[in-house]
Every structure is written in structure tokens, then in C-alpha cells.
Chain A
Amino acid sequence: MRKIMAAVPQPARSKRTINPVTVLLALAAFLLLYHALVNPIGIFPEAWNLHLRDPLDVFKKWVIVANRDGHWMFAFFFQPIKSSVDFFIRRAEDFLFWLPWPVIVTFVFVLANKIGKLPLALITSLSLLAMGLLGLWNESMKTLALMVTAVIISLFIGIPLGIWTARNDRAERFLRPILDAMQTMPAFVYLIPVVLFFGIARVPSVIATIIYAIPPVVRLTNLGIRRVPEDVLEAARAFGSTPRQILTKVQIPQALPSIMAGVNQTIMMALSIVVIAALIGGGGLGDVVLKSLRRLQVGAALEGGLAIVFMAVLLDRLSFAFSQIEHVSVERFQGFRLLPEKWSDRAWAQAVEKPIAKIYAASAKAEQKLAGALSRLLPRYRDWWQGHSYLLTSLLVLLVLLGVSFALGWEEFPQSWNLSLNQPVDKVVKWAQVNLYQIGDTFIGTGPFSDFVSLYLLRPLRIFLTDWLAWPIVMLLTAAIAWAVSGWRLALYSFFSLMLIGWLGLWEEAADTLSQVLIAVLLSVLIGVPLGIWSARSDRAERGLRPILDFLQTIPTFVYLVPVIMLFNLGRVPGIMASVLYALSPTIRLTSLGIRQVDEAAVEASEAFGCTPAQTLRHVQIPLALPSIMLGINQTIMMVLAMVIIAGLVGAAGLGFEVVDAMQNNKMGASVEAGLAIVMMAIVLDRITQAWAERQAKAANI
């Protein structure tokens, strides 16, 4: 119980010294009175506008001219990068387009079958097939080409960087804060500067992707190598290994699972930005969604969105399986397993599994035959043939398939196999718009809901932020909160960050965005915390929720727009809905985790005092889980902010819309300004909520 008492913060109050937080609050109150009763303060003075966009636009013009005139920076730095990346993308794309589709599908199948058995092979190859069936094979291959290029370059830079930081403490100390900062930035932040130097289209998309996606692989390579046990390294040293031998023969192989986990994260981050890169002409699947969204063709957008989801599933499952490879001498399970073992005595399960088992047995036999034949042909390499029979057979099958495909003209994915969702979905959407908009004469329906959110939540909050509280009051209040949770540094920092937003001339837009962010976070918390509590108290709920949350987190942000425009059309509300869907997971997860981790003894003690479960929850579990819940909310806030620009795509006014609009109209300066404002807002909110979570954790003695 002592812990619980400690959870209640007891601020040390001395009456003599003046509390700076009170001073800030008093100042804000004074200004508020002045504003309300004497003289309205009005909007942020236009005279203070820094006009940052002017020098930026001048700079951009200079870039264009310098680029054309072959300024050395472009001739010897940016151009070579640009053309080599372009070369890469083209080769990757040409290759993927040259390969007949059955070869690609089969390749994924045999690869997945090797590392993860039949279920993985089926999931991944069917995902690939589904992209074709949606009629988006070519777009998928374009996206895949971008992905392959970006990921390969990321790994080529990231893994050596990770190795370097693992072997050099100074390098690690230098890189860590940079990587930290890189990971808190929303994806699109990287799009704006690369456009400046590389123009639009695919090259800048890939370069932004590389920058955005590199941190996890650097981190996890570093971590993996640093975690190699000391006794193993000592053994390697004792046998007289050179540092290079230790690295290549011991450290890297030992760190491989961790490195592969980093690769998996890098791939998923790359996918999320490759899709958004459609905004700067990246093309591919993102473009399908973007174009359809603009034309409000929900069916086509859904097809694109589904194809992206399939791509995410394919890449995630496959790269995750790589990180799970174990070292076992004999496979514990020979052959295949499709259905859970407990079903194995049911008739229908046997009916399904028997033919597959036959195929497996036959292919194993073929493998043996091939290896045997090769051994007789070239007996010197017998061991190698035997050890790599799967590889050899797969190669053979793929080569034969390649020949057959070319002979029969199977290069293009057949048009006639198109399972178009276009029309049916559009019909459903139309039906939904008519019938779900308002059900009967009631207030239930998407329309009333949307109206309610706009009229009774968003608008009042926006008016409150802009008209009721004038800009200096908002700044002072934020500084007061920052001071209360952390100290003068954060207060000063927050104050000037907000001031900078004003100086950029974006105060109104920022207030608009802030109101949407706050509503989205509020909804996420209102939905997420109860769900988290539920999943903490019921194992069944947890088991049910976990795969859903995992799935939601693998989907690139962009895709969330599709279902929400089906229901809510355009505007601020669909943006908020998409943000809530995307950003819900961490709150649920961390609430559940926090409550599950509450000390067993504290709960028992509370029950021993005769508390009802509800009382235990309210007085013991939730207070003790608060730091964890706050951390979840912090992550949710950051994810909502990452969605701001995505929401801008469906017409949610504010900073996001400014960025999108400026990008689409090629207004460099304006997009940088709005992007900067979002980053400022993100940093202030992140720092304040994080400091708050830390305070809670300290108060609760965790």
C-alpha cells in the first residue's frame, strides 16, 4: 500500500518563493481578462511574419538554375546520386517487368516455403497473386521496384553504420541522438527537402525513403552486435582470431536475428513512405490511391489500398520469418503443416492435407533425385549438392517456368482474371451514403455523427483556441504546463516553438490542426483506454485484439483513408477518423501492459481490504498503470501528428492541407513553412507528454 500512497504526488510547497507556473498562469489570466473585457487581442500580427517562404523560393529558383548550369554541387554531388539511384530503380523495374508473373509468384512461394513452411508460403504468394487479381500487377511491381531499391541502399548504408557504432562508442554517442530525432519526425518531413534538391518523381521518393527507413536497421545491428556474449567473444579471441575474423565469423552471425528484425522494421517503414511518396510523383500503388481519392472513386481507391495491404503483409511476414530462423540441425517437423495439429483427425482436414502431403513427398523425392544425379555427374561437390538440394530444385523449377512462360506468352498478368471491386464497391458506397448517412429518422448514422463532431467538438474547440484564447494566452498556458511538468527549459522551448509557428504566419492553421489533433487524441483515449483495460482483464480479449492491432500497425498510413472516405466523404471528420484508427493501437497496448504489470501484491492487498474489482481497478491498478498509459497516449499523439498531412489529403483543413496543397502546386516555400509548423507542434506535444509520463513514473516509483 505504501506504493499507492507514493503514487499521489505531493508537491513541496514553500509559501515564500513565487512559483513561476503561477506567474505564467496569472499573466495568462490577466491577458484573458484584457482580451475579453477591454480590447480583443486579435490575430497574430501579420507584420511579424518572417516570410520564410520568400528566401526558400529564391533558393529553389537558384537550385533550378544551378542545376541547369552545372554548378559543382549539382554536377558532382546531387546529379551523380540522382542518376545512380535512377539507374538502380530502372534496372529493378525492368527486371521485375521482364520476369513473367508466374515466376515471381513461384519464387516467393519457394522462398517462403523454405524459411517458414507452407502457411507462410501460401500467405505470401496469395498476397502477391491478389495484387494481380485486383488488376494492379504493374503498379505493384513499380512499388516493389522502389522498395527493393530503397531497402537495398538503406541496408548497404545502415548495416555498416550499425557495425561501426557497435565497435566505436564515440560513434554511437554521436549517432544516437540523430537517430532518435529521425524516428520522431513524421515521414513526410523528409519529402520536402529532397524535393528541393532532387526535384520530383521517383528518385527523391527513394532518397526520402532511405533517410526515413534507415534508423531501425542501424539501431538493431548495433544492439545485436553489442549483445553478443562476452564469453563467446573471448573464446574467439583465445583462438587467435583477427578483429575482422571476429566480426565476420562471430559477431555478425550471432547478431543476425537482431539485424533481421531491424531489416523487417526498415522494410515496413520504407513501405509506408514509398506509398506516401505518390505525393511527389513516386508512382505505383500510392498513386492509384491518391488519384482515386482525388476523384472520389472509392472503389478504385479501395483496390489500391487493398493491394498496399497485401504488399505490407507479404513484406512483413517474409522479412519477419527471416528474423525468426532458428539454428536446428534436423527440422523438428518434416514436410508441411497447414492446419492446426488438433484438427488432424477430422475427415475434411485429412482430405485437404493428404494431396498436399503427396506433393511434398514427391518434391522431396525429386530433390533427392536431382542431388543424386548431380553427385554422380560431379562427385567432387557431392556434399554441396546434397546440402543444397532445395536450392537446386527451386532454381530448376524457376528456370523451367521461365522458359514455359515465355513460350506460352504468360508475361503479363492476364487482364481477364481481374476481380474488379470497382463497381460493386462504388455501389456499396453509394448505398452506404444514402442509407447509413442517416438511418431512418433517428440521429444514428454517419451524417449526424459527422455533424456532431464538426459542430459540437471541432468548431467550438477551434473557436476557443483562436477567439476566446488569443494567441499569447495559448502560448503562456503551454509554457505554464511545460514548466509544471518539466522546468524552465521546456517552458522556454515550447513558448518559442509556438511563437515560431506564429512567425511563419500559420497560427490560424495551426490552431485548426491542433483542434483536430486534440479531438482525435481524445477519441483515441476514450476508445483505447477502455479497450486496453478490457484486454488487461480478459485473456480472451487480449488474444482477440492482438492480431488486429498487429495488423493495424503494419498497414501504411495512407490506406486508412480509404474506408473513412467511404463513410464520411471529405473534410475534417474523415481525417480524424483515419487518425483514430491508425493511432489507437499504442494506447490499447500500453494500457493493457501497464495494468497487467501492476504488482500482484498491490492488487492482492487491495482485495484483502475488501475492494470490489471496480474499486481495485480505480484506486490501485489504473493509478499504478498511469505512467504506461501516458506513454501510450504520447505515442498516440505522435501518430496522430504523423497523420496530419495524410488527413490533409481528404480535405482536413489546417497545416496538413497547406503542405499537400503547396506540394501539389509546386510551392516549395509554403510547403516547408507548413511542414516546419507541424514539426514544431509535434516536438512541443511530444516533449510535454513525455515529461509528464516520466513524472508519473517517478511519482509511482516505477
Chain B
Amino acid sequence: MRNVKISCRHVCKIFGPTPEHIAETIKPETAVSEILENTGHVVAVRDVTFDVYEGEIFCVMGLSGSGKSTLVRCLSRLIEPTRGEIVINGEDVVAMNKEQLRDLRRHKMSMVFQRFGLFSHRRVIDNIAYGLEVQGIGRAERLQKAQEILELVGLQGWAQHYPHELSGGMQQRVGLARALAVDPEILLCDEPFSALDPLIRRDMQNELIHLQKNLQKTMVFITHDFLEALKLGDRIAIMKDGEVVQIGTPEEIVAHPVNDYVYEFTKDVPRVKVLTAGSVMRPIRQKEDLIGKAVAMDTTLEQLIPLTADSDGAIPVMDAEQNLVGIVNRRRVMMALATVEEEEA
């Protein structure tokens, strides 16, 4: 098993005059809107539990107001969680005092913001160097480091400009560079690309994937765009009304949405590109008529369709160790495309 980097257990955040009291008294089945009506408290995050593994991109996806921003801010305690346990690198974040917390924020984790949060009075290079400056690193050293990161995100030549002189996409590159400059283990991103127009957003997503290949940071990436979550996330948590309703890999979620809320998101997904042999296969039965060459688990439907179109037989699926783990046939592929769970015939 991979290392657990961030571990959240039963995290709650309630806004209002007496959050502690409410946290104790609410019943799990009471709806958020009801609590707001009866007590005037906003339950923004409700009993959230998940683990983030080292080096993965963990996407948190949900509609506006579902508590994503609040959750991600609880991780670094920019917002104090009302209840629950947050452990990062084996250390209890909730129990940290001010100094330990500052240390955590300075060295272990940094953040990218939806509205950039750049310092308009500082040049690009000084924005990027901010985290290092706060750590107390000397001017020459931090500028050199900032320059490297600047080039990494493709902003050569813009060092001496001010943020407002840059386009939105470039500004967010500065935001990303500022977060990367401190070489954090964990990167928290709160809808970093939401304010950008679609083409630029796609560029930035590709760039992030590219960067991640080399950097291997642990990332918690917030988005309200399901396709973005599919594209970037190793795993995705889907939130509704402060609760996590499903956690899984992109294809687990597309293939097996737990309820209508999740299903609604998956409807517009190009399933042929997301679903793979591994998620549509079924166990092998006796007397199976195996045909053709075996395919790997991560073969997408897009690639399976030509193989199954012409034959009625079953195509074997093998895992990485070349063990036979199941078969796919035309029926399985068609049913997966039709978004219907197959009842066992």
C-alpha cells in the first residue's frame, strides 16, 4: 500500500454562533437546509473522511456551496475545523500550536487560489519568492529559486512585471509558481482554473499533468468541473451538502455512480474514453469461448469496440502480471455504453 499523506477523519465545519453545540446535537439524517432554518447554523463540511496517498492528485468535486473550499481550508487550518481529526505526515494538525502550524504552511504545504490572490504591489518575481521570503531566506537565494520556478511554468521574461499587467492564465501561472517555489510536499488547489476561459483552462490542465509527472507532489485539487476531475484526478471525492457521497477512481465513479446525484455528473462524460476493460469485464465462466489476443485492464472502450464489433466471442482480460482476470464481449461493451448496470443473466 502507498503511504498515506493526508488523513481526514470525521471532519466537520459549522458556521454560526455555537458550532460546537450544533455539532454535538445534530442527527446524521437531518438535512443541511433544515439545520439552517432551525438553528441558523451553516453546516459547510459534514463528517468527511478520506485519505490522500503520497504523489496522487486527489480531486474534490461538487456543486457550488457544497463545502469544497471550506474543506480544503480546514486541511491547513485557514478555517478551523469544528470537529474531526486531520493528520498530515503522521502529525495531528488540529493539535498544532501557532508556530507548528506556520511551519507546516511554510514548508510542507502551499496553496493555489481560485481568484489568484496575487500581491498586486509586488513584481511577478517577488510574488513567486514570497513564500521563501516569509521563511527568512536571503534575497539572492530566493530570487534565484524564484527564477527557476518562473521558467518552469513558462513565464520567462515576465519577472519584472506586475500581476495586473498579465493575462488571467499567466496570473494563475504566477499563483502556481508561487506555490511551487517553496517546494512543498502537498499542494492545495482551490478551483485554480475556474476563472480562466476554456482553451486556456485546457492548456493549464495539460501543463499541470506535465509538471506533476516530474514533481510527484501530493495534490488536493478542488473543482466543480467533473471533466476536469476526470482528467486530472487519480481519485475523486464527490461532495454534496458538505458530505462526501462517493470516493473512487474516475472510472469507478463513471462506471458505478452510487446515486442519482453522482450519476447526473457522469451523464455527459465521453464514456468510451473513460471506461476500460477492467471496469466493464465480468468473471470468466466455464466453457467460455475465448477468442483473439488478450487485452490489458486499462484498455479503453474506444479501443475495445473494433475488437468486439465483429465477434460474438469473449475477449480475455489480463492484469499486469499476465493473469487472466475476466472477459469482455460485445454485450458488456454495449451495456457499459448504455450506462445500464447489467443484471446477472
A237 x B134 contact (CB < 8 A): no
Q: Name the interface residues of A225-279: CB closer than 8 Å to any CB of B.
A: 231-232, 234-242, 245, 249-250, 253-254, 256
Most chain B beta carbons < 10 A, residue from A236, A250, A329: A329
Stretch at the interface among B47-55, B118-126, B207-215, B303-311: B118-126
B106 x A240 contact (CB < 8 A): yes
A329 x B117 contact (CB < 8 A): no
Q: Given A254-B119, A327-B162 in contact, is the A237-B130 Cβ separation under 8 Å? A: no
What's the Cα separation between A231 and B69 when bound, in Å? 12
Q: Which of B105, B120, B182 contacts A327, CB < 8 Å?
A: B120
Across the interface, name the chain A residue whose C-beta is closest to B159: A329
Check A38 for interface membership: any CB of B closer than 8 A: no
B102 x A234 contact (CB < 8 A): no
Q: Given A232-B117, A234-B113, A239-B110 in contact, is the A328-B165 Cβ separation under 8 Å? A: yes
A329 x B165 contact (CB < 8 A): yes
B131 x A239 contact (CB < 8 A): yes
A239 x B164 contact (CB < 8 A): no
What's the Cα separation between A250 and B127 when bound, in Å? 11
Q: Which of B105, B123, B165 contacts A238, CB < 8 Å?
A: B105
* Minimum C-beta distance from B173 to chain A (A): 15
Residues of A within 8 A of B201 (CB): none
Across the interface, name the chain A residue whose C-beta is closest to B166: A329
Residues of A within 8 A of B103 (CB): 240
Check B22 for interface membership: any CB of A closer than 8 A: no
A329 x B131 contact (CB < 8 A): no
Most chain A beta carbons < 10 A, residue from B110, B119, B162: B119
What's the Cα separation between A240 and B165 when bound, in Å? 27
Residues of B within 8 A of A328 (CB): 162, 165
Q: Given A240-B103, A240-B106, A329-B161 in contact, is the A234-B78 Cβ separation under 8 Å? A: yes
A256 x B115 contact (CB < 8 A): no
Q: Given A249-B133, A327-B164 in contact, is the A235-B106 Cβ separation under 8 Å? A: no
Residues of B within 8 A of A250 (CB): 119
A254 x B121 contact (CB < 8 A): yes
Overall SS of chain A's interface: helix
Chain A, interface residues (CB within 8 Å), range? 20 to 34
What's the Cα separation between A254 and B163 when bound, in Å? 13
B104 x A240 contact (CB < 8 A): yes
Q: Name the interface residues of B28-76: CB closer than 8 Å to any CB of A.
A: 76
Contact with A along B164-190 (1 / 0, CB 8 A): 110000000000001000100000100
Across the interface, name the chain A residue whose C-beta is closest to B139: A383
Q: Given A239-B131, A240-B134 in contact, is the A329-B123 Cβ separation under 8 Å? A: yes
Q: Which of A235, A245, A327 contacts B117, CB < 8 Å?
A: A235
A235 x B105 contact (CB < 8 A): no
Residues of B within 8 A of A327 (CB): 120-121, 162, 164
Q: Name the interface residues of B193-225: CB closer than 8 Å to any CB of A.
A: none
Most chain B beta carbons < 10 A, residue from A240, A250, A254: A240
Check B111 for interface membership: any CB of A closer than 8 A: yes
Check B160 for interface membership: any CB of A closer than 8 A: yes
What's the Cα separation between A329 and B124 when bound, in Å? 10
Q: Given A327-B164, A329-B165 in contact, is the A238-B119 Cβ separation under 8 Å? A: no
Contact with B along A294-312 (1 / 0, CB 8 A): 0000000000000000000
Residues of A within 8 A of B111 (CB): 235, 238-239
A234 x B117 contact (CB < 8 A): yes
A254 x B120 contact (CB < 8 A): yes
A329 x B104 contact (CB < 8 A): no
Most chain B beta carbons < 10 A, residue from A232, A236, A250, A254: A232
What's the Cα separation between A256 and B120 when bound, in Å? 12
Q: Given A240-B105, A329-B160 in contact, is the A231-B134 Cβ separation under 8 Å? A: no
Contact with A along B132-150 (1 / 0, CB 8 A): 0111000000000000000
Across the interface, name the chain A residue whose C-beta is closest to B111: A238
* Minimum C-beta distance from A378 to chain B (A): 15
What's the Cα separation between A132 and B5 when bound, in Å? 73
Residues of A within 8 A of B160 (CB): 329
Residues of B within 8 A of A242 (CB): 102, 134
What's the Cα separation between A249 and B130 when bound, in Å? 9
What's the Cα separation between A237 and B109 when bound, in Å? 12
Residues of A within 8 A of B120 (CB): 232, 254, 327
What's the Cα separation between A235 and B131 when bound, in Å? 10
What's the Cα separation between A254 and B117 when bound, in Å? 13
What's the Cα separation between A245 and B134 when bound, in Å? 7
Contact with B along A314-337 (1 / 0, CB 8 A): 000000000000011100000000
Across the interface, name the chain A residue whose C-beta is closest to B163: A327
Q: Name the interface residues of B281-296: CB closer than 8 Å to any CB of A.
A: none
Residues of B within 8 A of A238 (CB): 76, 78, 105, 110-111, 113, 188
Across the interface, name the chain B residue whose C-beta is closest to A250: B119
* Minimum C-beta distance from A101 to chain B (A): 37
Contact with A along B324-338 (1 / 0, CB 8 A): 000000000000000
* Minimum C-beta distance from A111 to chain B (A): 21
Across the interface, name the chain B residue whose C-beta is closest to A254: B121
A237 x B78 contact (CB < 8 A): yes
Residues of A within 8 A of B116 (CB): 231
What's the Cα separation between A573 and B277 when bound, in Å? 100
What's the Cα separation between A329 and B102 when bound, in Å? 32
Contact with A along B297-322 (1 / 0, CB 8 A): 00000000000000000000000000
Residues of A within 8 A of B121 (CB): 253-254, 256, 327
Q: Name the interface residues of B204-253: CB closer than 8 Å to any CB of A.
A: none
Other than the given A231-B113, A239-B106, A253-B122, 18 more pairs (CB < 8 A) read A235-B113, A235-B118, A238-B105, A238-B110, A238-B111, A239-B110, A239-B111, A240-B131, A240-B135, A242-B102, A249-B133, A249-B134, A253-B121, A254-B120, A254-B121, A329-B160, A329-B161, A329-B162
Interface pairs A-B: 9 shortest CB-CB: A235-B117, A240-B105, A240-B106, A329-B161, A238-B111, A240-B102, A253-B121, A327-B162, A231-B117
A-B pairs with beta carbons under 8 Å apart, 30 shown: A232-B118, A232-B119, A234-B78, A235-B113, A235-B118, A235-B119, A236-B130, A237-B105, A238-B105, A239-B111, A239-B134, A239-B182, A240-B102, A240-B106, A240-B107, A240-B131, A242-B102, A242-B134, A249-B119, A249-B130, A250-B119, A253-B119, A254-B119, A254-B121, A256-B121, A327-B121, A327-B164, A328-B162, A329-B162, A329-B165
Partner-B contacts on A (CB < 8 A): 231-232, 234-242, 245, 249-250, 253-254, 256, 327-329
